[in-house]
């Protein structure tokens, strides 16, 4: 996958280079490739239309999985923004169907990082429509617990870790009825640990699989420590991801990732160097106690002990 010339704008890259590369390097049909390019451009436009602080709150859920991505000279936040705008777009449809590989996705996101950084720093000449604005700001309104927790996480990533208390306005919690279930999906087992079987399908699908739904039922009945390597394991669809986080916080559950602990009142982020999430070996990520202490260390060690008994 060749890198476009530096003089090309972000608009030109997503409307011409991206569709061409998806067809030549992958096996994406022309019409689908053009749709993916337009979706990336549309997402970039509405992402540019919101304040930088809100961008970081939305991207905080993906920061720990993207901080070491290429290009190496791009900031951690640029890489997280690329994840939100590019990786979490309709590109996932081609990925989940096998038309484009992980390697090709990495090449594509690496290529687009510099131009997206420039695009986001310029004046928004094309305003997003009201539907997009409602979608984005609707997340803050509908899921105040999740928004406040991720807002705290983004502030901790900025300062290099620690802990912070977060508060939110009183709001009804999502219920189990708010989750649409998909049955009998073709899935792949991604965990080496039999107690941690996870089943993967299209990461931007709005529905939850039966394995996730069963865990949500358990969480509603009895607060638990919900361990995932990264919040993207919940979903790359921000609406669905926020709904799950909101549900878990509302039911007094703790959410543990490779570098974060989200409790109903506080957020903790590993200090110093972050640990790279490894989807098929979460124990390795969770067992690393560097840069964690106190409640965070205790919860992490307790989760490891629970799943390795």
Angle between helices 130-142 and 238-250 (to 10 degrees): 20
Q: Torsions phi, psi of 262, nearest 5?
A: -110, 115
Of the pLDDT bands very low, low, confident and very high (cuts 50, 70, 90), residue 305 is confident
Residue 89 has pLDDT above 60, yes or no: yes
- What integer is the mean pLDDT of 11-30? 94
Of the pLDDT bands very low, low, confident and very high (cuts 50, 70, 90), residue 285 is confident
Q: Read off the pLDDT of residues 213-231 as tens digits, 9 standing for 90 and up.
A: 999 999 999 998 999 999 9
Distances 130 to 46, 122, 136, 147, 247 between C-alpha atoms, Å: 10, 21, 10, 20, 27
Mean pLDDT of the chain: 89
The contacts found for 262-267 with CB under 8 angstroms, 24 or more apart, are 262/149, 262/153, 263/295, 263/299, 264/145, 265/165, 265/166, 266/152, 266/163, 266/164, 266/165, 266/166, 266/295, 267/149, 267/152, 267/153, 267/156, 267/163, 267/164, 267/166
Of the pLDDT bands very low, low, confident and very high (cuts 50, 70, 90), residue 134 is low
Q: Token pair 């602080």 is at which residue? A: 53
Residue 237 has pLDDT above 90, yes or no: yes
How buried is 282 (Cβ within 10 angstroms: 0-12 exposed, 13-18 middle, 19+ buried)?
A: buried
State the Cα–Cα distance between residues 106 and 49, nearest whole angstrom.
26
Q: How far does Cα 245 stand from its chain's mean position?
A: 12
pLDDT value of residue 304: 86
pTM of the model: 0.91
Q: Read off the pLDDT of residues 149-188 as tens digits, 9 standing for 90 and up.
A: 999 999 999 999 999 999 998 899 999 999 999 875 544 4
Range with the largest mean pLDDT of 5-19, 39-53, 124-138 = 39-53
Which two structure tokens, joined as six digits, stand for 277? Answer: 């999430």
Q: Read off the pLDDT of residues 35-67 as tens digits, 9 standing for 90 and up.
A: 999 999 999 988 998 889 999 999 999 999 999
Q: How far apart are the first and last CA of the chain?
A: 46
C-beta of residue 112 within 8 angstroms of C-beta of residue 208? no
Which two structure tokens, joined as six digits, stand for 182? Answer: 């998909």
Range with the largest mean pLDDT of 54-58, 191-195, 198-202 = 54-58
- CB count within 10 Å of CB 227 equals 23
Residue 5 has pLDDT above 50, yes or no: no
pLDDT value of residue 8: 83
pLDDT value of residue 131: 52
pLDDT value of residue 201: 78
Residue 189 has pLDDT above 70, yes or no: no
Quick one: what percent of the chain has pLDDT higher than 70? 88
pLDDT value of residue 283: 82
Of the candidates 128, 46, 130, the one whose C-alpha atom is nearest the C-alpha of residue 89 is: 46
């Amino acid at each position: 996958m060749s890198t476009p010339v530096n003089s090309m704008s972000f608009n030109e890259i997503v409307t011409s280079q991206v569709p061409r590369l998806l067809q030549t390097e992958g096996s994406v049909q022309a019409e689908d490739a053009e749709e993916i390019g337009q979706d990336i451009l549309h997402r970039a436009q509405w992402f540019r239309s919101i304040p930088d602080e809100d961008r970081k709150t939305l991207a905080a859920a993906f920061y720990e999985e993207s901080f070491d991505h290429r290009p190496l000279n791009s900031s951690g936040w640029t890489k997280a923004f690329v994840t939100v705008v590019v990786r979490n777009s309709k590109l996932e449809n081609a990925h989940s169907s096998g038309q484009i590989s992980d390697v090709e996705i990495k090449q594509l996101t690496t290529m687009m990082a510099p131009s997206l950084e420039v695009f986001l720093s310029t004046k928004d000449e094309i305003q997003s429509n009201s539907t997009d604005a409602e979608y984005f700001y609707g997340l803050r309104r509908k899921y105040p617990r999740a928004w406040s927790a991720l807002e705290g996480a983004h502030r901790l990533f900025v300062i290099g870790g620690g802990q912070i208390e977060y508060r939110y306005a009183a709001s009804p919690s999502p219920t189990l009825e708010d989750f649409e279930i998909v049955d009998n999906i073709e899935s792949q087992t991604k965990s080496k640990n039999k107690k941690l079987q996870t089943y993967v399908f299209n990461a931007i699908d709005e529905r939850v699989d039966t394995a996730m739904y069963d865990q949500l039922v358990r969480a509603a009945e009895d607060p638990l420590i919900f361990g995932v390597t990264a919040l993207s394991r919940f979903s790359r669809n921000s609406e669905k991801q926020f709904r799950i986080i909101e549900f878990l916080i509302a039911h007094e559950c703790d959410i543990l990732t490779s570098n974060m602990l989200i409790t109903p009142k506080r957020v903790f982020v590993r200090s110093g160097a972050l640990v790279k999430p490894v989807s098929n070996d979460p124990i390795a990520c969770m067992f690393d106690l560097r840069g964690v202490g106190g409640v965070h260390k205790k919860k992490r060690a307790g989760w490891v002990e629970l799943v390795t008994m």
